[in-house]
Structure 1
Amino acid sequence: MTTDTTTAATTPATTASRTKALRGLTALGGVATVASTFLSWTYTDEFPGDLTVYGYPGGLQVLTLVAGALVLLYALAALDIRGLRWLAPTGTTKALRLLALGAFATTWFTVIAIAVELGGIVNLEPGGFVAAVTSAIPLIAFLLPDDTHKATRPRELPSWAEILIIVAAFGTGLYVVTYGIDTEYAELFTGYMITAGFAVTALFKAGLMARLSGLTTKYRSIAVAAAFVAAAAFPFTQTTDQFTLIAVNILIFATVALGLNIVVGLAGLLDLGYVAFLGVGAYTAALVSGTTASAFDVHFPFWAAVLTGAAVSLIFGVVIGAPTLRLRGDYLAIVTLGFGEIFRITVGNLDGVSGPQVTNGPNGVPNIPDLVFFGYDFGESHTILGIELGGYANYYLLMLLAMILVVLVFSRAGSSRIGRAWVAIREDETAATAMGINGFRVKLIAFALGATLAGLAGTVQAHVQSTVVPEMYVFAGPVPPNSAFLLAAVILGGMGTISGPLIGATLLYMIPAKLQFLQDYQLLGFGLALILLMRFRPEGLIANRRAQLEFHETGQLDTPEGTLPESGVGTVKAGA
């Protein structure tokens, strides 16, 4: 009996000592992983990134170094190092496990890639084997007990410190995104996605992202200004237009996805032909741009071309929506899919042979001149603050302003009376109609507004691409944006939110652009991704509070622990 009492009395102390020892070993594993990146991993520089140098990490070694440093940082936070507990408001164990897995996955991906591309493990230096072993040490974190708890109110910081944290967070985000866009080869981008995916998920699980979200809510105006400055600073980090073009197309794709989010995410209208409105705006801007290939001898100034493209898209939205929005569900989806195909076929037949000479048929409208606004030629390089910006940088900044306009329209509309009517219609149209909401009128407004925003983005796209052809506006194809990609971006990111479709569009554009060998398997990959998403996170990557409570039975009315809610409007329906 005495022995049992002694054992029971010493068990908590023993458990605490064991937990502390495991955390210490995890920290040592992080140090060892970081140290291994300063060794040579391969004999030859034929593998991209030149991993042959001692004392200077390069290529994928940098990603392993970052992952190992994050493991060390959160292991020290788990050991109650003063000041570091702020990084893990809801606990460190889940974050440590994810970070350890990320470091292991990145390192082993690199080692396997070296062996496969160079013809066997004989091409590995001893440093490569050391890295493979040391990256497995932090996996000890999986033996740690779960210390997840409800986030407590942090110690009040001075206002200047909290503002500095916001600025640092957006600066770090700019660097991370820029690094991903600037990756020069597929192996590095794959490693970047592995590291970034595990790291971001770990920060969510640790509750750090929710804490940062609280700070941005507290200092909303400062956070908005910091976000704009960070986004606007991107072209100033580039020396050529090679990667700036990717960023411009991401902004176009994301802007159109956000417009579709009004139709799908707020109003609940499944539109499978939305890319046609992008095409309407692009063709309209191309035909009034003054190009010699246009059937109309007109040359509108920049502001007039933008307004014309948006207005024509609005008209098409009303004309198409008026007779079709009395349908619901799958029937509406089929009709909108038909409209998208009709648009593509029609512009392909307006070639002077099958129909009137308007769009040059399959040849499209080429040689679209660059935009000129108050004497500022967007196609020429300009020096700003001592830094030379190329033509695509000019279009990037223009498209950034267009995105800000779309975000403002989305947020204002979603929070307005008409926005609440959209949500009511999406949740239960019959009940909403019984409460006095004119369902047809409300849905037509959503359809028309979404079409207008798509047309606005299309006017810029036409000048960026300098040509428009029917093959650019299909339901599904190898190059985004198309209707399937746009819908996937909205669902993947999180319907009814602002940042969700932006993140979804960024991922869905960057992955095909960087991993060219996946061109033939894109739809398969997106299908699998959506299946996994609906199984494990049906509310999307970024979801609002109501969506999380709907899809996750937490037994309480607050946000599930370790997640980042967005105060968007509406909820997500699994079958939407």
Structure 2
Amino acid sequence: MTTQNPGAIERTPVIPLPSGAARPATAVGALATAASAFLAWTWTSEFPGDLTISGYPGGLQILTLVGAVLTLLFTAASYRPRGLRWLIPTGSDNAVALLALGTFATTWFTLIAISTELGGVANLEPGGYVAGAASLICLAAALGLPLDRRAKDHPHTNPAAVLLLRVSFAKRPLKAPAPLPGWGEILIVIAAYATALGVFTYGIDTSYAELFAGFLIIAVFAVTALGQAGILARLSAIAIRQRPVAVAAAFAAAAAFPFTQTDDQYATIGVNILIFATVALGLNVVVGLAGLLDLGYVAFLGVGAYAAALVSGSASSRFSSVHFPFWAAMLTGAAAAMVFGVLIGAPTLRLRGDYLAIVTLGFGEIFRLGVLNSDGTSGPNITGGPNGIHDIPDLKVFGFDFGDSHDLGGLSLGRFSNYYLLMLVVTAIVVIVFSRASNSRIGRAWIAIREDETAALAMGINGFRLKLLAFALGAGLAGLAGTVQAHVTFTVVPEQYQFAGPVPPNSAFLLAAVVLGGMGTISGPLIGASLLYLIPAKFQFLQNYQLLGFGVALVLLMRFRPEGLIPNRRQQLEYHEGDLPGDIGGPTAATPAKDVAGLTQAGA
């Protein structure tokens, strides 16, 4: 039916697929897949994880079991029983389909990996065949569940088309939940962050690449399914109402990570993730709030690291007799980076777009070449040239030596665990600064410049001064993280601060972290940076193809989720103007304005 408005979009009715036996078949397939995890999938223990033991799942079998149990649970919840109704607030069956797809992908990835590494499907035991068949039946049945989407070219008989609709589905508006007491919401927030800590710890502790790949597959589909079901939106609303508790719980969960580790092997990855994430959050001030494309941002991290290293008391420092306390070294690094931000921004921030990006890219290379040549031969002897500044001593704060192991509550914290906790405090400071700045009048002016600089200037905003302030603040935050990086790595060398390189942080990966996570948000760059650091650290054998992989990932992201993994509400509405919840065609004359506003608020 069309409206009288010539600009309106034609509406078509919902045409569900036949699904009389879809739910029971999905449940049976999920149950059989879960049972197959207790059978042997291969005869030899050469494949990592030891999948040869019947009655005891191991390695990738555990991930298949988790996916199958979640699929079974959500299938049961789709019948809307009173005890499980809270699992699918939106009432959508897409969560079931996505979980079935994740279980299928994890299972078949394992079977293909076994066949590839061991030399053929002959290395599969009957349990492997049962798992493959059961997960396929579960997925095929789940695709037969009713589609909750208006579309134009139905009926959907092509499984690939049905699958695409499941993934790109616009969520239904959430119904108002039953009110919970304050203590109940607090318990939910604590449980959510405890679960997030457990999932993150499991992922970072995976001991081989195949297990981490399987973890990524099931985690991506599970998180997407929770979003489609409406659970993430409900948790977000509760966290907003209980903001102080949510912030405290998030910090406590992050601080508890070192206590889940038996050694410093993965605490090393943790502290580097925090450094990378903190610098990405500083870049988010420049790119996400002010809309300035900076391709040489890693140079500010280098300025802070070199400034702190020069006054750290290192024997290789040009000023080896100077040994600042840590707080003074942090201020020195942040101030030096901020000064460089002003010096670079003052003559260049009158440029816009690609021209500004080229200038910042040039600054990054000038910094790297400058410290490379400051070796006393090609230039002044300041930075040590290609050898850099090494033997940077460990920090000592109030008698606490970060280089020594310390026992706390029966648990031993190693060197990198100590620096992880220190970097967590620095990250918290940067988050507070970013949050206060973005919610201030200056932050709103930055957003106005990002959206339309000409209109902002016409409204009386001093664009140049505010852009320079954003540049200086972002540089200072990067310099703050650089002071900790210098002590964590013992040395600073020019190769650490390139535009693109095999090891983050570098300017390309920092920018990718901001775009991937979600520009203008706090949690977006933190999550984006974590993924971009953790994935290369786990897939060492793919180092030569990292840039290709990230390029493909960004292209797919721009196609299916251009607002990033954690979008802010403004960008989500801009990029999905025609995909309001419950109305794929967008608002028309037949949709009252108050209804559109209500749907928008529910979907955000």
How far the C-alpha of 1:66 sits from its partner, in A, is: 0.6
2:240 matched to which residue of 1? 217
What amino acid is the match of 1:123? N
1:95 matched to which residue of 2? 95
1:375 matched to which residue of 2? 399
* Aligned: 1:115 with 2:105: no
**Distance in 2 between residues matched to 1:20 and 1:466, nearest whole Å:** 65
Q: Any stretches of 5+ residues in structure 2 without a counterpart?
A: 1-15, 149-170, 581-586, 588-595
What amino acid is the match of 2:403? G
Equivalent pair of 2:326/2:395 in contact (CA under 8 Å): yes
How far the C-alpha of 1:26 sits from its partner, in A, is: 1.2
1:74 matched to which residue of 2? 74
Residues 59 and 464 of structure 1: is their aligned pair in 2 closer, same or farther, counting only changes over 3 Å? same
1:425 pairs, out of 449, 452, 471, with: 449
1:11 matched to which residue of 2? none
**Distance in 2 between residues matched to 1:258 and 1:314, nearest whole Å:** 15
2:124 matched to which residue of 1? 124
Residues 530 and 557 of structure 1: is their aligned pair in 2 closer, same or farther, counting only changes over 3 Å? farther
2:597 matched to which residue of 1? 557
**Distance in 1 between residues matched to 2:424 and 2:138, nearest whole Å:** 41
SS at match of 1:183: coil
1:298 matched to which residue of 2? 322
How far the C-alpha of 1:288 sits from its partner, in A, is: 0.8
CA distances 1:378-400 after superposition (whole Å, capped 9, x unpaired): 11111112211111001000111
What amino acid is the match of 2:446? W
What amino acid is the match of 1:525? G
2:213 pairs, out of 162, 170, 190, with: 190
Equivalent pair of 1:350/1:360 in contact (CA under 8 Å): yes
TM-score, structure 2 length as denominator? 0.89
2:304 matched to which residue of 1? 281
1:43 matched to which residue of 2? 43
**Distance in 2 between residues matched to 1:220 and 1:367, nearest whole Å:** 43
How far the C-alpha of 1:158 sits from its partner, in A, is: 2.7
1:436 matched to which residue of 2? 460
Equivalent pair of 2:92/2:172 in contact (CA under 8 Å): no
2:105 matched to which residue of 1? 105
Residues 201 and 160 of structure 1: is their aligned pair in 2 closer, same or farther, counting only changes over 3 Å? same
**Distance in 2 between residues matched to 1:281 and 1:25, nearest whole Å:** 59
**Distance in 2 between residues matched to 1:119 and 1:319, nearest whole Å:** 60
1:12 matched to which residue of 2? none
1:169 matched to which residue of 2? 192
Equivalent pair of 1:545/1:559 in contact (CA under 8 Å): no
How far the C-alpha of 1:250 sits from its partner, in A, is: 0.5
1:473 pairs, out of 480, 486, 497, with: 497
**Distance in 2 between residues matched to 1:375 and 1:20, nearest whole Å:** 70
Equivalent pair of 2:264/2:415 in contact (CA under 8 Å): yes
What amino acid is the match of 1:365? I
1:24 matched to which residue of 2? 24
What amino acid is the match of 2:422? L
What amino acid is the match of 2:106? T
CA distances 1:481-538 after superposition (whole Å, capped 9, x unpaired): 0000000000011100111111110111111110112211111111111111111111
2:279 matched to which residue of 1? 256
**Distance in 2 between residues matched to 1:559 and 1:245, nearest whole Å:** 44
CA distances 1:413-463 after superposition (whole Å, capped 9, x unpaired): 000000011011111111111111111100000000000000000000011
SS at match of 2:412: strand
Of 227-236 and 147-156, the range deviating more from structure 2: 147-156
What amino acid is the match of 1:445? L
CA distances 1:177-233 after superposition (whole Å, capped 9, x unpaired): 111111111100100100001000111111110000011011111111111111100
CA distances 1:62-99 after superposition (whole Å, capped 9, x unpaired): 10011001101100100122221111111231111110
* Aligned: 1:483 with 2:507: yes
Residues 149 and 439 of structure 1: is their aligned pair in 2 closer, same or farther, counting only changes over 3 Å? closer
What amino acid is the match of 2:98? L
Equivalent pair of 2:22/2:145 in contact (CA under 8 Å): yes
SS at match of 2:597: coil
What amino acid is the match of 1:276? A
**Distance in 2 between residues matched to 1:253 and 1:542, nearest whole Å:** 18
**Distance in 1 between residues matched to 2:602 and 2:134, nearest whole Å:** 28
1:450 matched to which residue of 2? 474
SS at match of 2:550: helix
Residues 351 and 559 of structure 1: is their aligned pair in 2 closer, same or farther, counting only changes over 3 Å? farther
**Distance in 2 between residues matched to 1:317 and 1:464, nearest whole Å:** 24
Equivalent pair of 2:173/2:599 in contact (CA under 8 Å): no
How far the C-alpha of 1:560 sits from its partner, in A, is: 6.0
SS at match of 1:454: helix
How far the C-alpha of 1:161 sits from its partner, in A, is: 2.1
CA distances 1:454-483 after superposition (whole Å, capped 9, x unpaired): 000000001111111000000000000000
CA distances 1:353-386 after superposition (whole Å, capped 9, x unpaired): 0011111100111111111101100111111122
SS at match of 1:539: coil
Q: Any stretches of 5+ residues in structure 1 without a counterpart?
A: 1-14, 566-576
**Distance in 1 between residues matched to 2:347 and 2:28, nearest whole Å:** 67
How far the C-alpha of 1:558 sits from its partner, in A, is: 5.0
How far the C-alpha of 1:149 sits from its partner, in A, is: 3.6
1:340 pairs, out of 358, 364, 368, with: 364
What amino acid is the match of 1:146? L
Equivalent pair of 1:492/1:501 in contact (CA under 8 Å): yes
**Distance in 2 between residues matched to 1:248 and 1:524, nearest whole Å:** 26
2:142 matched to which residue of 1? 141
**Distance in 2 between residues matched to 1:409 and 1:514, nearest whole Å:** 32
**Distance in 2 between residues matched to 1:412 and 1:558, nearest whole Å:** 28
Equivalent pair of 2:288/2:519 in contact (CA under 8 Å): yes
**Distance in 2 between residues matched to 1:185 and 1:220, nearest whole Å:** 37
Equivalent pair of 1:281/1:457 in contact (CA under 8 Å): yes
**Distance in 2 between residues matched to 1:146 and 1:222, nearest whole Å:** 38
What amino acid is the match of 2:313? G
**Distance in 2 between residues matched to 1:379 and 1:320, nearest whole Å:** 36
Equivalent pair of 2:59/2:211 in contact (CA under 8 Å): yes
Residues 184 and 431 of structure 1: is their aligned pair in 2 closer, same or farther, counting only changes over 3 Å? same
1:86 matched to which residue of 2? 86
1:530 pairs, out of 551, 554, 579, with: 554
**Distance in 2 between residues matched to 1:172 and 1:482, nearest whole Å:** 31
Equivalent pair of 2:364/2:499 in contact (CA under 8 Å): yes
SS at match of 1:557: helix
Residues 175 and 434 of structure 1: is their aligned pair in 2 closer, same or farther, counting only changes over 3 Å? same
How far the C-alpha of 1:20 sits from its partner, in A, is: 6.0
1:8 matched to which residue of 2? none
1:388 matched to which residue of 2? 412
How far the C-alpha of 1:559 sits from its partner, in A, is: 5.9
* Total equivalences in the alignment: 549
CA distances 1:298-332 after superposition (whole Å, capped 9, x unpaired): 11111111111011111111111111111111111
TM-score, structure 1 length as denominator? 0.93
Equivalent pair of 1:493/1:540 in contact (CA under 8 Å): yes
What amino acid is the match of 2:368? R
How far the C-alpha of 1:122 sits from its partner, in A, is: 1.1
What amino acid is the match of 1:53? I
What amino acid is the match of 1:481? P
RMSD: 1.4
